[in-house]
Amino acid sequence: MRVADWLSWTRVALATDPLRSLLTASGIAIGICAVVLLTSIGEGIRDYLLNSFSQFGSRIVAITPGKTETGGIPSGLLSSVRPLSMDDVAALRRLPHVDVVIPVVQGTARIEAGRFARDTDVFGVGPNMDRAWNFAVSSGRGLPEESGHSRYLAVLGDKARHELFGQRNPLGSLVRIGGSRFRVIGVMEPKGQLLGLDLDDAVYIPADIALEMYNRTGLMEIDVIFRESSSSQAVGEAIRELLIARHGEEDFTLLTQEDMLSSLDRILNILKFSVGALGLIALLVGGVGVLTIMSMALSERIPEIGLLRALGASKGEILAMFLLESVLLSLLGGALGIALLALLAVFAHLLVPDMPLSIQPVYLLVGAGVSCAVGLIAGLSPALRAASLNPVDALRDE
Amino acid sequence: MRLLDLIRFTLLTLVRQRFRSFMLILSLALGVASTTLLVSLGEAAQSYVLGEFAFLGSDVLAIFPGRKTTTGAMPPVTGTAARDITLQDAVVLERSVPGVVGVAALVAGNAPVSFQSRERGGMVLGVSEDFFPIRRLTVGRGQVWQGIPLDVSAPVAVIGDTVRQELFGNRGALGEWIRVRNFRFRVVGILEGSADSFGSDLSEAVFIPVASAQQLFNVSGLFRLVVRVDERFDRDEMVRRIEAKMTELHDGELDVTVVNPDAMVASISDILRVMTLAVAGIAAISLLVAGVLVMNLTLISVQQRITEIGLMKAIGATSTQIRLLFVFEAALLGVGGIISGVLISALTLLAAARVVPELSWGLPWWALLAVSLVTLLTATVFAWRPAGKAAGLNPIAALGRG
């Protein structure tokens, strides 16, 4: 039997009852659509979260005080008898391959500018914060490098500027932060949120002043940004040695951006696949549908098979014919599913433009492959039964 | 046609087409089982999370230093504000706000804790006596220090059970002197059990009086205040009263956040409920697929039984009766699907309860009801059109086809 004959045979078999074929295929279609759509949403969420984490640049090593043995509350927030100091920051700046070192102290305070006041986050940071966190200054300049005690200068986040100054130019004016007067020297560009922390609704002041203002002995975190000339392992090792030499023991925790991203990535991948697996249930039910319909088609076509066998078709050919039919049926379902998906994606894009959806061509291929596989598996048992029919009995069935 | 006849007729049809009925029930059961299982998984997760919060009791408010104008975001958990909450604030709150029954002050930090040659780093909590009843912590051996005013430091400590084991092993710990950084404390009590919450295991903590912790860490403020209020007072009213008092104490500036844990728990519970429903909804897609199969099989069944339908119509069956026949068949299959699906998920839940006994596994009745209704509805709705096709057949033409 030629390939063309096989194909036309299958086409006739499928087209005899178009409604039945369409319904069977649509079961598969819904399944494929669910799997691909859910995996795409999972992938979209993963992209979104990874991006929001890596927007600070990928060459960051974060140092927090205290060796976490218990976990729970992030150790930087607690008081510690072994603080990270501004002297540690100065020492880290002298390490080779280190580009920028940013001390971090975070708290809240009331910020007053003229008649307006706002309770919001205050970050004590260092110079070159813009370069370290990929966080550009939109007007004015960032905190300057200073020797000795810093001056009372402040940089406003975009939202804080808007709330306190409206359309007026804040540069050069004075604001009160936690009772002290600061001169505004710059405004940052909008950056967005990270884990519920709004970086735009904040002001940035020198870390040593923030330590005084909050009456803290130690920093909450030190971010070290290293040059491309080195790797995070090498820099991490150098930092560890330096701080152990300074503190006498390892009383701090290092976290490289790579560690953080890879553990986040692992969690998000698990999430993605478990969401996709939910869609697989629907696909499984669709497969049961194909199995049922193929079995019924078999029982209706027993005499036909008998005739074919009597005319010389081999068992293998009968098997192949049935399998081809169920695979084509499933592929049709896969194609329908992908079309449905495209439609849904367009709608989603129009209605909820922010929805994290990342449909990748490879998923479409996988969808087609999976529908093929479903067709093969579901068609196997009816096809085997068809092939094993005794031609004489089958013919008599008429 | 009587109801009994209807049931017998339908059952006969279903049994005669064993394979088809079995496959349909299987696919419906898969949908039912996955939906109910996911709902009960979500419910179990929800009750687990709520249980984690239960230690707070229903009569507690938390006060954090610092405040943010943007509402709805996280409370300022960093506990760093331009102006501290002081021990004096705590004393005033306890004395002068009606409805406040107890105030537990908290200073938290990390410090090395040692006994003779053994040392371990751990969480050190400066607390007032009231902290123990408010957090529902029980002291197994010894007792909590008593009668020490808030602003007086004293060299006494209560230690968690893990700390006791690590530092003392099998020796008695009561009455021994331990060293926290360079301060010495006498162990007066040992905490019972593990009492962990949010991943921070309090059995690994050392508790000392607040004023001592302020000396140890050289801080003047408090990490947070936990206030127990009289249950007869309205919680929101108490939040307002405490805010007013703190404003008065802080020179007319409201710079603390008062958090009502009830409201937080309620919103977390809401989020988890929505997630459960969303996941169950996704699983319900498989019910839709099963519905398509119902429609397909009913169509085929109508085609195969055209002569039978013609005969029935010829001997006086009405169109409504024919439609009822097919729809009833689908509904009966739906019932079969529901029963076997629920059985599958009940068995799985039993197994799950064996493996993970910490979670409370259960099938919420509302989920069962909803899933059953949806399944029945799906089965009948998808059978409706093909059944209509059967009902609309012309008896003569139908008989002629046979």
Q: Residue B149 contacts by C-beta under 8 Å, 6 or more apart in sequence?
A: none
Q: Could you please report the per-residue DSSP string of A175-193?
A: EEETTEEEEEEEEEPP--E
pLDDT (tens digit, 9 = 90+) per residue, A134-181? 888 888 888 888 877 889 999 999 888 988 888 888 899 999 998 889
Measured between CB atoms, which of B26, B77, B112 is closest to A288? B26
Q: Does B171 touch chain A (CB under 8 A)?
A: no
Measured between CB atoms, which of A34, A81, A109 is closest to B181? A81
Structural contact between residues A117 and B69, judged by C-beta atoms closer than 8 angstroms: no
Q: Does B52 touch chain A (CB under 8 A)?
A: no
Measured between CB atoms, which of A214, A285, A291 is closest to B286? A285
pLDDT (tens digit, 9 = 90+) per residue, B319-362? 888 888 889 989 999 999 999 999 999 999 888 888 877 777 77
Q: Does B76 touch chain A (CB under 8 A)?
A: yes
Question: What is the interface size between A and B, counted as CB pairs within 8 Å?
Answer: 195
Find residue B170's DSSP bridge partners: none
Choose among A393, A387, A389: nearest CA to A320. Answer: A387
Highest mean pLDDT among A34-48, A99-113, B51-65 belongs to: A99-113
Cβ-Cβ contacts under 8 Å, A71 against chain B: 199-200
The answer to whether the CB atoms of A282 and B289 lie below 8 A apart is yes
* Rounded Cα gap, residues A45 and A25, in angstroms: 30
**Exposed / middle / buried, residue B45 (Cβ in 10 Å: 0-12, 13-18, 19+):** middle
* Rounded Cα gap, residues B69 and B376, in angstroms: 51
**pTM for the full model?**
0.72
Q: Report the residue of A14, A70, A197 to disrupt the B interface, i.e. the one with the largest count of B CBs within 10 Å.
A: A70
Measured between CB atoms, which of A66, A107, A289 is closest to B296? A289
Cβ-Cβ contacts under 8 Å, A73 against chain B: 108, 123, 200
- Residue labelled with tokens 């880290």: A92
Choose among B210, B233, B238: nearest CA to B223. Answer: B210
The answer to whether the CB atoms of B204 and A70 lie below 8 A apart is yes
Using DSSP bridges, classify how beta strands B118-127 and B205-209 pair: parallel, antiparallel or unpaired: parallel
CA distance A67 to chain B (A): 8
Cβ-Cβ contacts under 8 Å, B83 against chain A: 178
Type of residue found at B37:
L
pLDDT of residue A187: 92
CA distance B199 to chain A (A): 5
Find residue B120's DSSP bridge partners: B113
| Closest-approach residue (CA) in chain A for B120 | A69
Q: Report the residue of B18, B28, B74, B110 to disrupt the A interface, i.e. the one with the largest count of A CBs within 10 Å.
A: B110
- pLDDT band at residue A196, thresholds of 50, 70 and 90? low
Tokens of A229: 């000339």
Residue B218: how many CB atoms within 10 A of its CB? 12
Strand ranges (DSSP E) for B216-333?
224-229, 256-259
pLDDT of residue B57: 63
Measured between CB atoms, which of B81, B255, B292 is closest to A23? B292
* Rounded Cα gap, residues B196 and B203, in angstroms: 7
Q: Report the residue of B203, B219, B289, B348 to disrupt the A interface, i.e. the one with the largest count of A CBs within 10 Å.
A: B289
User: With a CB-CB cutoff of 8 Å, which residues 260-319 of chain B face chain A?
Assistant: 279, 282-283, 285-286, 288-290, 292-293, 295-297, 299-300
What dihedral do alpha carbons B33, B38, B41, B45 form, nearest 10°? -170
Structural contact between residues A106 and B78, judged by C-beta atoms closer than 8 angstroms: yes
The b/e string for B316-330 (b: 16+ C-beta within 10 A; e otherwise) is ebeeeebbbbbbbbb
Phi-psi region of B99 (alpha: psi -120 to 50; beta: other; left: phi over 0): left
Q: Does B83 touch chain A (CB under 8 A)?
A: yes
Residue B161: how many CB atoms within 10 A of its CB? 20
Choose among A212, A210, A219: nearest CA to A92. Answer: A219
- Residue labelled with tokens 């956040």: B257
Residue A53: how many CB atoms within 10 A of its CB? 16
pLDDT (tens digit, 9 = 90+) per residue, B108-142? 887 888 888 888 877 888 888 888 887 778 888 88
The answer to whether the CB atoms of B293 and A285 lie below 8 A apart is yes
CA distance A18 to chain B (A): 11
Between A148 and A67, the higher pLDDT residue: A148
Q: Residue B392 contacts by C-beta under 8 Å, 6 or more apart in sequence?
A: B319
Give the range among B105-109, B273-277, B280-284, B357-361 with minimum mean pLDDT: B357-361
Residue A263: how many CB atoms within 10 A of its CB? 11
CA distance B278 to chain A (A): 11
Residue B70: how many CB atoms within 10 A of its CB? 14
Cβ-Cβ contacts under 8 Å, A67 against chain B: 121
The answer to whether the CB atoms of B108 and A73 lie below 8 A apart is yes
The answer to whether the CB atoms of B68 and A77 lie below 8 A apart is no
The b/e string for B114-133 (b: 16+ C-beta within 10 A; e otherwise) is ebeeeebbbbbbbbbbbbbe
Using DSSP bridges, classify how beta strands A180-188 and A174-177 pair: parallel, antiparallel or unpaired: antiparallel
Structural contact between residues A154 and A175, judged by C-beta atoms closer than 8 angstroms: yes
Tokens of B141: 């051996």
Choose among A201, A205, A208: nearest CA to A186. Answer: A205
Residue spans of alpha helices (H) in A185-314: 207-214, 232-247, 257-300, 302-310
Structural contact between residues B58 and B231, judged by C-beta atoms closer than 8 angstroms: yes
CA distance A162 to chain B (A): 14
pLDDT of residue B334: 93
**CA geometry: angle B239, B244, B250, nearest 5 deg:** 125
ipTM of the complex: 0.71
Using DSSP bridges, classify how beta strands A202-206 and A116-125 pair: parallel, antiparallel or unpaired: parallel
Structural contact between residues A293 and A24, judged by C-beta atoms closer than 8 angstroms: yes
Whole-angstrom CA distances from B356 to B45, B193, B351, B359, B364 are 12, 21, 9, 6, 18
Q: How far apart are the first and last CA of chain A?
A: 24
pLDDT (tens digit, 9 = 90+) per residue, A284-340? 888 888 888 888 888 888 888 888 888 888 888 888 888 888 888 888 888 898 888
- Residue labelled with tokens 């930090």: B109
